[in-house]
Structure 1
Amino acid sequence: MKLQPDRLDVQSILGYGPGWVGLGREGVAEKIEHSVVIGSRGEKFDWQCTRFEQLTAAHFALLAETRPELVIFGSGARLRFVPPAFLRALMEQRIGVETMDTLAACRTYNILAGEGRQVIAALLIETEGTEA
């Protein structure tokens, strides 16, 4: 039984490894080696943080400005939760937030984007030597 289309017509994550994530849309692939925010409506911008400890409420307020129905936060190589106060801007707009490690966030984003959901993936990409 086929569960996924052969080709997604939305921005999708093609691959992930330590220190990088591969993005693709309409036959164009790109390797990104820094924290990034991508969205199913074509959003893509740098997320200015290289370590989990650098995250602030402002990082998540920026996500709220894109007005998705759901934010998937990829917290790096392991599962880590930010303080609830950081999520206030999202909660005030009734935007859902799911936290998972970045690998799981990549998979989950692809599934939800493929279903046509308005989803944002905020992916923390930590390079060697930056993880706590």
Structure 2
Amino acid sequence: MDITPHIAEGRQLVERYGAGRFRVTGRVFEGSVLVTPEVAVAWPVTCFEELTVESLEPLLAAGLDVLLLGCGPRLLRPAKSLREAVRARGPVLEPMDTGAAARTYNVLMAEERRVGAALIAID
């Protein structure tokens, strides 16, 4: 029995991560990536300490309900000021390790939720 969810054509699915890269719907990204169901783009953030509201702007402008933050190899807590600034723009910010964020994004995207993910690359 195939339990793979049906993904609409053109939707961005995180297929692989690790070794400093991501594969999203067949396209390889070296380094970090921003992903929504409609688009995936390279993201110049290389570590959690570089995270700013400005670096999240492409996702904040997308009208999301949930913004998943893949913090790297482990969960880190963003500064209160960052969490409040993101929430003021609409989405709920959900930090987690990058692997968990990629998997959660895929599930929520398959459910056709308004979700995006900011994923910091891991080795």
Q: Which category of TM-score, normalised to the shorter sequence, fits these structures?
A: 0.7 to 0.9
Give 1:44-123 correspondences, 5 Å limit: 44-123=40-119
Listed as ranges, the gaps of 5+ residues in structure 1 are 128-132
Among all aligned residue pairs of Structure 1 and Structure 2, give the percentage whose two residues are the same amino acid. Answer: 31
1:130 corresponds in structure 2 to none
TM-score, normalised to structure 1, is 0.81
Pairs aligned (count): 121
Task: Please give the alpha-carbon distance, in whole angstroms, between the structure 1 residues aligned to 2:13 and 2:107.
Answer: 9
SS of residue in 2 equivalent to 1:77: coil
Q: Which is worse superposed, 90-99 or 55-64?
A: 55-64
Give the Å deviation of 1:3. 5.2
Give the Å deviation of 1:93. 3.0
Listed as ranges, the gaps of 5+ residues in structure 2 are none
Question: Which portions of structure 1, spanning 4 or more consecutive aligned residues, are displaced by more than 3 angstroms?
Answer: 1-4
Cα root mean square deviation, aligned: 1.9
Give the Å deviation of 1:57. 2.6
2:32 corresponds to 1:31: no
Task: Please give the alpha-carbon distance, in whole angstroms, between the structure 1 residues aligned to 2:4 and 2:107.
Answer: 8
Task: Please give the alpha-carbon distance, in whole angstroms, between the structure 1 residues aligned to 2:36 and 2:64.
Answer: 8
Amino acid at match of 2:13: S
SS of residue in 2 equivalent to 1:32: strand
Task: Please give the alpha-carbon distance, in whole angstroms, between the structure 1 residues aligned to 2:41 and 2:84.
Answer: 21
Aligned residues of 1:61 and 1:89 also touching (Cα < 8 A) = no
The alpha-carbon distance between structure 1 residues 55 and 107, as it changes in their structure 2 partners (threshold 3 A), is same
